[in-house]
Amino acid sequence: MNLIDRITAIYQKTFGYVPAHIIRAPGRVNLLGEHVDYNDGFVLPAAIDRATYVAFSPTDAPHSMLVAVDFDQQATFSSDSIPTKVQADSLPLPEWGLYPAGVMWALMEEGLPVLSMNAVFASEVPRGSGLSSSASVEMAFLLAWQTLGGWTLPPMQRALLGQKAENRYVGVNCGIMDQFASACGVEDRLLLLDCRSLAWKTVPLPEHVAIVIADTTVRRKLTSGEYNKRRAACEEAVRLLQQDLPHIQALRDVSVEEFNRLAGKLPAEIERRARHVVEEIERAKQAEALLEAGDVRNFGRLMNECHVSLRDLYEVSCLELDVMVDIAQSLEGCYGARLTGAGFGGCTVNLVARDCADAFARRLADDFHSRTGLQPPIYITFPSNGAELIK
Ligand code: NG1
């Protein structure tokens, strides 16, 4: 049974009638521009063909009732219980409930009407793996409340509200990339976003290549602090570099030449973190011309360089990610391989010749298993549309 049929059946069993609507909101994979969204840089994600689905209907009840199929749990909340992060019966919200509740909070802050709903949701996006399962849940519920509320926000506005929910309600200090990709995805296209101006365009994925995602199965918790430490190091670098470059507001404003000239003035660890960001923004800027020209080889080279930089300078890789990338880069048809998302575990992204993709996926899984004992799920994925109402 596919996921839509499954949530529809569970909805019917739980509430006794068929859901009025179903929404699909994808996860995302980032091809280039890692750990730069919060430095006002450029990112190159794509929405993927794995998504979160929500089946829902409006209800006259004073509270919303949500069933999370993946957790086999339910939660209830209303506008009264939202500020204190509790359920209608005063018990604390479960962690998964913070994402839809945070969206409701952000919409209430905007002064938009948020109607009560009965909902059942489930996701194909693996959690904690760098594929933005949380953003897909946020974008799904934002669109669900929009569908019921009679108001319309443009996709980028929904992305910003999802980010606000995640920053201020859930408490994860993420940038805009994930919600943007889940809201604004375009079938068969990569998305190039300027994280400062929020201007974006689509860039072609050359036809003869496939995006392959390989999940190490190693999981991390972003709230554990390493992510925030990296952000703090970038802010400290900006503060120190402002002594020589008073006009800069973010690492985005520092050129590679300026950075090379001033790097010696920074403490070693801050220098490594900032160098990754400055050089990675430069790599992401080169991506558009390479992809427009169909130059997958040089684009793949930038992906490989990105991994080395994330491993050695930003220090967000781990043994399993390095092994996965190492194997991938040695296989036929692989143009580029690197860790994707925040790191510390999760997935790698690989750009592979389409006619080699199946063999690549099999060999990668086998070799990774023999080197680590872990069984990695591997997905050949295609850029998909952003969050949409499908019923
Ligand atoms: P992942 O690992 O996919 O959750 C995180 C951030 C992004 C971005 C990347 C690194 C969250 C929820 N998202 O992505 O905003 O900074 O790391 O490029 O923290």
The residue from 178, 244, 326, 358 that is catalytic is 178
Classify strands 117-123 and 64-68 as parallel, antiparallel or unpaired: parallel
For 239-282, the pLDDT digits (tens) are 999 999 999 999 999 999 999 999 999 999 999 999 999 999 99
Q: How far is the CA of 9 from the centre of ligand 1 (A)?
A: 33
- Tokens at residue 107, please? 């919409």
For 211-244, the pLDDT digits (tens) are 999 999 998 765 458 988 999 999 999 999 999 9
**Mean pLDDT, residues 108-118 taken together:** 97
- Pocket, ligand 1, Cβ cutoff 6 A: 34-35, 37-38, 130, 132, 134, 166, 172, 174-175, 177-178, 222, 227, 341-342
**Mean pLDDT, residues 52-61 taken together:** 98
Q: How far is the CA of 2 from the centre of ligand 1 (A)?
A: 28
pLDDT of 223 = 44
For 357-370, the pLDDT digits (tens) are 999 999 999 999 99
CB atoms within 10 A of CB 182: 35
Q: How far is the CA of 176 from the centre of ligand 1 (A)?
A: 9
Architecture of the domain delimited by 3-204+385-389: 2-Layer Sandwich (3.30)
Atom number of ligand 1 nearest to Cα 36: 18
- pLDDT-derived band at 54 (thresholds 50, 70, 90) equals very high
For 289-333, the pLDDT digits (tens) are 999 999 999 999 999 999 999 999 999 999 999 999 999 999 999
pLDDT of 172 = 87
**Mean pLDDT, residues 98-124 taken together:** 97
- pLDDT-derived band at 80 (thresholds 50, 70, 90) equals very high
Distances 225 to 96, 162, 173, 232 between C-alpha atoms, Å: 19, 21, 10, 10
Q: Quick check: 115 and 149 in contact, CB under 8 A?
A: yes
**Mean pLDDT, residues 172-180 taken together:** 93
pLDDT of 1 = 81
Domains 3-204+385-389 and 209-381 share a fold: no
Shortest-distance Cα residue to atom 3 of ligand 1: 130
For 65-79, the pLDDT digits (tens) are 999 999 999 999 999
Pocket probe for ligand 1: among 38, 222, 273, 276, the residue whose CB has the most ligand atoms within 8 Å is 222
**Does the active-site annotation cover 178?**
yes
- pTM summary value: 0.95
Q: Quick check: 276 and 309 in contact, CB under 8 A?
A: yes
Shortest-distance Cα residue to atom 5 of ligand 1: 342
Domain ranges of the chain: 3-204+385-389, 209-381
pLDDT of 225 = 85
Q: How far is the CA of 126 from the centre of ligand 1 (A)?
A: 14
Q: Give the chain as a 3 state SS string.
A: CCHHHHHHHHHHHHHCCCCCEEEEEEEEEECCCCCCHHHCCEECEEEEEEEEEEEEEECCCCCEEEEECCCCEEEEECCCCHHHCECCCCCECCHHHHHHHHHHHHHHHCCCCCCCEEEEEEECCCCCCCCCHHHHHHHHHHHHHHHHHCCCCCHHHHHHHHHHHHHHHHCCCCCCHHHHHHHHCCCCEEEEEECCCCCEEEEECCCCEEEEEEECCCCCCHHHCHHHHHHHHHHHHHHHHCCCCCCCCCHHHCCHHHHHHHHHHCCHHHHHHHHHHHHHHHHHHHHHHHHHCCCHHHHHHHHHHHHHHHHHCCCCCCHHHHHHHHHHHHCCCEEEEEECCCCCCCEEEEEEEHHHHHHHHHHHHHHHHHHHCCCCCEEEECCCCCCEECC
Architecture of the domain delimited by 209-381: 2-Layer Sandwich (3.30)
pLDDT of 254 = 98
Helix pair angle (98-109, 133-149), 10° resolution: 50
Q: Quick check: 32 and 286 in contact, CB under 8 A?
A: no
Pocket probe for ligand 1: among 35, 174, 227, the residue whose CB has the most ligand atoms within 8 Å is 174
Whole-number Å distance between alpha carbons of 379 and 214: 6
Pocket probe for ligand 1: among 44, 134, 178, 273, the residue whose CB has the most ligand atoms within 8 Å is 178
Distances 224 to 106, 282, 344 between C-alpha atoms, Å: 24, 29, 11
Q: Quick check: 208 and 295 in contact, CB under 8 A?
A: no
Q: Quick check: 367 and 327 in contact, CB under 8 A?
A: yes
Select from 121, 168, 118, 162 the least CA-distant residue to 142.
162
Atom number of ligand 1 nearest to Cα 177: 15
Asked if residue 189 has pLDDT above 90, the reply is yes
CB-based contacts of 308: which residues, under 8 Å, 6+ apart?
none
**Mean pLDDT, residues 94-102 taken together:** 97
Q: Quick check: 327 and 337 in contact, CB under 8 A?
A: no
Mean pLDDT of all residues in the chain? Answer: 96
- Tokens at residue 38, please? 């919060």
Find the range with the poorest average confidence among 165-174, 238-247, 367-376. 165-174
Q: How far is the CA of 178 from the centre of ligand 1 (A)?
A: 7
Whole-number Å distance between alpha carbons of 119 and 13: 12
**Mean pLDDT, residues 36-44 taken together:** 98
Q: How far is the CA of 174 from the centre of ligand 1 (A)?
A: 6
